[in-house]
Structure 1
Amino acid sequence: MDNTGQFQKEMKKSVLKEIISLLVKVSALFIFALLSATFVKNELAADKSMKHLETAFVEAFDSHKTFLLEESTQALCRELLAGEEEAASFQNLLYRHNLNQKIRSKAIVMDSQFNIKYSSFSNEEISAYHYSYNNAISNNARKIGENEVYTAVYNNSTGYSDYMMVKPLRQGEDIIGYISLFLSGDDWSYYMSHFSDNGVITDTRNNVIFYNKPSLMENSYKFDIKKSKITYISGERYWLKHAALPVYGIQIYSLVLYPGNPEIIIGLIMVIIIGILWFNLASRISETMAEKNAQSINKLVSEIRIIRKFDQTHRIQMDSKDEFEDVAHHINQMLNTITHLHEKNTELLKLNNLIEINHLTAQINPHFLYNTLEIIRNLLIFDADQAGKLIVKLTKVLRYSINNSKRDVTLEEDLQFIHDYLSIQKTRFGERLQCTMDIDENCYSCVVPKLVLQPLIENSIKYGFQDQMELSIRIKGYLKDGYLILQVEDNGPGMGEKDLEELKDMLSKDVNETRANGLYNIMRRLKLKYTEKSGMEITARPLRGLTITLNILQQPEEPGVLQRIRFEEEEHV
């Protein structure tokens, strides 16, 4: 297959994709940054305007409300309605009040029949509509609480709206009149003209109380717009912030002029121009890189061909001072690992041969044979039938242990051997030896090293009877997370922490330095055949027994039903 030049083409294509991706990311980042800056800028401006409008309204409202609720104001109005005071007295009081106000007010005082007793308005200013509207609002104010004022918006279509604040005048439980304050819309306009803020204040029914820019009002009576961040009024775009003040019964709209953003278009054009320049530069760089890297690749391929066809011990030699030199280094490491694995497999074969040779000496040791033959000799005198059965079992044990046709067996086969082995041991120790097996049914078909359990049981018997007359051994088997777990637990004298650590240390070495030949051979064989993930765990406490656990890597299977198998001793003398 001729792939000449394909590497250079793929590299140029890859660089093109990266440049386009980078341009898209930079453009998106630029737009995001610009929109974020715009958002923050407009939000801050809208917040500032909102706070200014809110402060101005709250100060004016609270001041005029206080004036209406003051006992001196209401007492003077009651005297005025009773004819005990002249209108000039109330006019003087209102004048002094307005001296300290940014938003001044005019007042109308009426009796309970809506007859005007005092008015700050001229006769020309009080129209029939003005009079009727004031009467209607005053009538609505009859049910408000002692410390409340009734509010409304008055618009006479000749200018800015006036904000009305009405308070009934009471004599005991009876209403004897009304006092109405009209906060001047002209004063609102004049006061807010000193600031650059754009805003509208309405009541809860969207009736306009104040606005500072005529172009904001498509309808001078109502201000009803969608409360979205960006809104259009009279063809102009605004950044909107809305807040409601339920305590005062108003809504505040802060509006920041938000014209089009030509800088976004300009910025995108600049990004595209820079991207084109980057692309041209990257194309030239990619051609140079592809040419240089092609030399390194050809050298790497040549070295690999030597290993594949001529010399498997050869290692790649590269001095390109780039990533391909690292690739060559990692390939060499991989080859070394493969060689090491090959050596481990060779070691496994040798160890299997050694295990087969040592089965009679290490696992079926002479002491076991001697003791068994001595038992048979005695049984021949007292119980020939039992002696015959014992000879059959010993024959099975010896035949199984020296059989060279199998190195790995199913757990079920190995357990049958264990059954015969334990029968012989039970004949020797009698009731002093108790053994119980708890094996998951789905474990029987698992493949295990031949004679994997016998050294563990022999170890328990050998050391378990040293300081006590009775010994109990429990064998468990189950599958967990892809592993066959085999556990041999006894109630023997156990082992001290120091001795346990020394045993673990000796078992972990590559060379057997311990007398526990059976334990060492099993652990070493597990690691060589089933990888480092398989192994042996030993736990013990003084006078609390010893537990040895084997973890053997398996293919996952469906869990079976736990079957409890209890070893039953056969008749013996």
Structure 2
Amino acid sequence: MKSITYKKYIEYSFLRYALSIIVILFIMMIAFLSVNFKVIENLENKKNTQKLLQVLEKQFLIYDSELENLSTDEDIIRLLSGGDNSKLSKVNQTLYSFVNAQNLKANFILLDKDLHIISSNLFEGNKELFLESRVLEKVKSAPLNHTYITPSRMNYDYEQESSLIFAHAIMDGKETVGYLFFDVLSKDFEYLFMRSPIDSIVLTDRYDHIIFYTGKRNADLTLKYPADKYMDNFSKDSDIDINGTRYQGHINTFIDGQFTLYTMISKEIQRRSFYYGILFIILSALIMLFMIPYITKRISEKNVSAIEELIILTDKMSKGNKVDNPIIFEEFNILLSSFDKILSEKETLIKNNSELSERKRIMEIKQLEEQFNPHFLFNILETLKYQIMIDKEKAVEMVLAFAGLMRYSIYYGSTVVALGTDIEYINDYLMLQKLRYNRRLTYSIDIPEELQECMIPKLLLQPIVENSLAHGLVDVIHITIKAEHTEDILTISVEDNGKGIDPDNLELLRNSLEKDSIYKEHIGLYNSHRVIKLLYGNSYGLEIDSCNGTIVTIRLPFMLESEDE
């Protein structure tokens, strides 16, 4: 595999991911614009149409219902049939209150049976226009018990221009006593339609006569809608082309088909928004493509500079120099801290291994010196001479024990050995020493069978036993060696009933075990204690107590031979 620089890798990676993001964003934006153009806008247009439809239907039903109620109102009937003018004020108040409470307000006209105006909110000039209109004849000829609805063609002055008339006959029994008209104002239609986001709105009656149109002031209201040239294309929900402009059209009838609402929303704005969106995305992508190489270069240089700084600092640290200036990136600082920690642990490990090797060498040399001590050899050889003459089997045991002692002493193959192996060596050592001290020395060894395979440092016990003989023996001495374990701790004790250690020297001995300076008189104990700590950590080591004699307790981790391997 061909290797590349980290800088090039950063540049290629950033460029690849940036281009991927641009492509994904481009696809997502096109998809969004397409969905918005095809679905969301269509749903929104239908929603706006339905909202307008509900307002108109509710308002027209209110006018229709109120006309039914007012046509049987006693006050109005008495005013029209009996000429009770005392009811005029109350009737005026009722009619004014009703029309003013509506969203689509209206002119009201109350006529008697001779078509004279009894009550109205029209201005005087507009009243004359109303009386001259043909709508009066149409109302008189209409069915008496139904509301008559027709587009209004009244060009009133003073903003009283109207677009839709609701009319109903006032009956006293079977006799017609008058007529009530509600003429809905054009300005309120215009205000309602203009608040809607729909581009074009047309309201017609059941005969397609225009009631109101958003372009009413420029339209010929004598025409029907839609014009014939659009009729073939204008279905219930369809797109329609008018003078080269595409519209989305909707047709809705309401109140039992009495009214039809035509709505059209220009699709040109939507199309332009779609095209402008695409153009914006393309321009943005081109700008990003132009900027990406520069950004990539800057990012790669920044990252590479941090890597180069990291390399320089790690090189300084590997040479033992202290680093004071951290890198700007927290992650790299963590790497430096970890590297520094590893170096420190490595130096500590090297130091400990060196010391461990030196301690092991000193212990083995000390043990060899002890075994080749002229007095020790002389006593063994003298004893052996007499044993050959007295007890040949005992002499053979002595020779085998001495050979085992020598063999174990010169064995350098391992730092740790099984407890049983070291105990065999101690047993041979004590047996030979007993030949030297005879009845002055007795000993016992109690090691459970399940602990024979526990691993301990080689030559761990010999310096401690030697220390008991050297400093504890006065007249007679008994040495006891025991072992036990609790959970993951192996405890070995070497106890003698010798002269013991006085409190001051005991405290001095305990302190010397924890210092680098060696208390020369007990260098064997110090070496054993130090080897244990180097191998297993500061939680383990020797503990020394003295009362009637001396007891040295050794704490080690409980490890069997298979676990150590």
Place the TM-score, normalised by the shorter chain, in its bin.
Answer: 0.3 to 0.5
In the superposition, the TM-score normalised over structure 1's length comes to 0.41
Q: Which has the higher helix share?
A: 2
In the superposition, the TM-score normalised over structure 2's length comes to 0.42
Larger radius of gyration: 2
